[in-house]
């Protein structure tokens, strides 16, 4: 049970770092680039799959927020709360 909570906490932290570093992945050192690639292999297919169901939320003219990361974060928090 504790393993699942730690795993979910790691995924939540990984999602946060993934969203922050995605635009700067070419600048990462090789050590951190390998770690980033692991999280990208986990999150990219999930986020791309969610994009077909969840459209971006428009917050202004020509400005929208990708809601898939927020939805995935909420789902991970709910699952973590269940354990």
Q: Could you tell me what percentage of the chain is helix, strand and coil, using 3-state DSSP and rounding each to the nearest 5?
A: 75, 10, 15
Query: Which pLDDT tens digit goes with each residue over 10-65?
Result: 999 999 999 999 999 999 999 999 999 999 999 999 999 999 999 999 999 999 99
- pTM surpassing 0.85? no
In angstroms, the Cα distances linking 5 to 45, 46, 83 are 22, 20, 7
Q: Note down the domain range covering 45.
A: 2-82
How many domains does the chain divide into? 1
Q: What are the backbone angles phi and psi of residue 59, rounded to the nearest 5°? A: -110, 0
């Amino acid at each position: 049970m504790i393993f699942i909570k730690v795993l979910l906490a790691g995924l939540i932290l990984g999602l946060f770092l993934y969203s922050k570093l995605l635009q700067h992945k070419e600048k990462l050192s090789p050590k951190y680039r390998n770690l980033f690639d692991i999280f990208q292999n986990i999150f990219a297919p999930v986020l791309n799959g969610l994009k077909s169901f969840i459209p971006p939320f428009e917050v202004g003219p020509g400005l929208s927020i990708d809601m898939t990361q927020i939805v995935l974060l909420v789902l991970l928090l709910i699952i973590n709360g269940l354990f």
